[in-house]
Amino acid sequence: MFFGLNRRDFIASGVLASLAGGRAAWAQGTPAKGGTLTVVMYPEPPYLLSAVDPTLQMAVVTTKMMEGLLSYDLEMRPQPLLAERWEVSPDGLAWTFNLRKDVKWHDGRDFTSADVAYSLGVWKTRHARGRQSFARVTSVETPDAHTVIFRLSEPAPHLATVFSSYESPVVPKHVFDGTDLLANPAATAPVGTGPFRFKEWKRGDNLIMERNPDYWDKDKPYLDRVVFRFIADAASRAAALESGEAQIGCLTPVPLSDMARLTANPNLVATTEGYDYMAPVLMIQINTRNKPLADRAVRQAIAYAINREALTKTVWFGYGKPATGPIPSVVKAWYTTDGVPAYPFDPKKAEALLDEAGYKRGPDGKRFKMQTDPFPGGAEFTRTAEFIKQQLGRIGIDVELRTGDFPSYVRRIFSEYEFDSTPMYNGAFPDPSAGLQRIYWSKAQQKGVPFVNATGYADPAMDRDLEDAQTQNDPKKRWEDYANMQRRAMTDLPVIPLMEMRFITLANRRVMNHTITADGLIGTNFATVYLAEGGK
């Protein structure tokens, strides 16, 4: 089902062909042991403690060494990792995890429930969004060395999705307890339970990890070594993959304009799987404090005026799918189009809406001026802004582009609210309370906090639905809350969703089993990855 769904999403048929070929390759064969897998990466993580910092690039490195309680397969179903079994009480107030018994930390000490209890404290007080995720966990019990019970003040159904190695990695208590977390040597040389052990890190160049011979999953991992090479230049990353010096890169490691050439290379295979956990959506956030954007009809007109199909095909080379709402279709648990207003490309209707709202064309053919600040995340965002400028120009809106580097952008949009509109992206995450509540909930608005409600949008009905869903233990009612949320979001449009983004993992044909979880290379531990025989 998952594969079928993703296949349909592809617009460029050339991409489709190369993907289908690739998938057949990693379903068969007996795992070969040994070898080194070289991963191209950028940016280089500043340190290696994902329990504190949920930056994706950091997790790509750390999750091979540090593990979470669960992993989530390609269908987003939880699978055992450090926890063998788990159970939620019917009232949703107690979460019990039975831990694996034969697990050792890389330094030889036993992994126990005390480590999990300690880690919860770290997630709750130090993780960038952990305070929010674990807000309702009031206490933790460890009845024996291999059982952990989280006690909650209210139900928190979103917890079902947060126990991955990426989101909540378990840290060793005996190493970190009583120390300054980030000053601890283990923050740069991790001690974990994972299939690979930290070996060395040459800053600015590479990081090496080695096979953990005492890994709890006997006979695994297959690889002897995993090497990360930090290559700043996108064209150089492409060259490393083409020459066979490196075998894999994730999070769209090369410019989209190079993808046609690279997928034509018989040694390389691209996939867009393994990003459903992040569920990234390209969107325009609009500052509803500013006139005339404060007028809902104006925002609706903008939504009608942008051709999402053309945007996907031209700017994003087909690596995406026009969005129908704030939740992308890959988040199957919550996605709906039922009763959700749609905005098919219709410039005439857009002009009519603007006329009606009183923003008629002036003598120069222009209605009003609007600034747009593309997210400084690569050429595609700037081109998206140029595309929007061109499209809105046709209905008489004069768009002015402004660009700045990442820190300036964060300051301008999220601290000073000194913007009209910004094409950017947001991860919807498996649960809307994690990914979307932060941009639609009026109380999420916090001056100076990046990537939360910056639009100034505040709607009591929206707040009510979001707040009810947070603690709603009845799955049906919770679904209805989020269906209402999607309908309201697409009526009020403080944020105009443009496209479900498809990030790319580009790998050598020999690399097998690299994408087996919903968080792909970001969350998987590489225990089952192997290099098939033959080829360059």
Q: Which residues bind other proteins (CB under 8 A)?
A: 36, 38, 43-44, 46-47, 53-56, 126-129, 131-132, 182-183, 187-188, 199, 202-206, 208, 225, 227, 229-233, 235-236, 239-240, 242-243, 245, 404-412, 414-415, 427, 434, 438, 446, 448-452
SS3 state of residue 282 = strand
On the CB side of 104, CA atoms within 13 Å amount to 10
Can you tell me whether residue 299 is helix, strand or coil?
A: helix
Pairing of strands 397-401, 320-322: unpaired
Q: What share of the chain is helix, strand, coil (3-state, %, to 5)?
A: 35, 20, 45
Please state the φ and ψ torsions of residue 135, each to the nearest 5 degrees. -55, -35
Q: Is the dihedral of CA 193, 430, 436, 4 positive or negative?
A: positive
Find the helix or strand (DSSP H, E) in which 115 lies: helix 113-126
CA nearest to 309, candidates 499, 173, 164, 480: 499
Long-range CB pairs of 463-467, under 8 A, 24+ apart, other chains included: 466/432, 466/433, 466/437, 466/440, 466/441, 467/441
Say which residues have a Cβ less than 8 Å from residue 492's Cβ, sequence separation at least 6. Answer: 296, 299, 457, 459, 462
Contact 61, 207 (CB under 8 A): yes
Alpha helices in 134-290 (DSSP H): 173-176, 234-242, 259-263
Residue 319 CA to residue 502 CA, distance in Å, equals: 5
Residue 29 has which token pair? 């064969």
For residue 477, report the phi and psi dihedrals to the nearest 5 degrees: -65, -35
Q: Strand order of the sheet with strand 147-152?
A: 83-88, 94-99, 147-152, 137-144
| Cα distance between residue 224 and residue 394, in whole Å | 58
Q: From 10, 3, 2, select the one nearest 322 (Cα to Cα).
A: 10
- Asked if residue 33 lies in contact with residue 222, where contact means CB atoms within 8 angstroms, the answer is yes
Q: Which two tokens stand for residue 187?
A: 């923050």
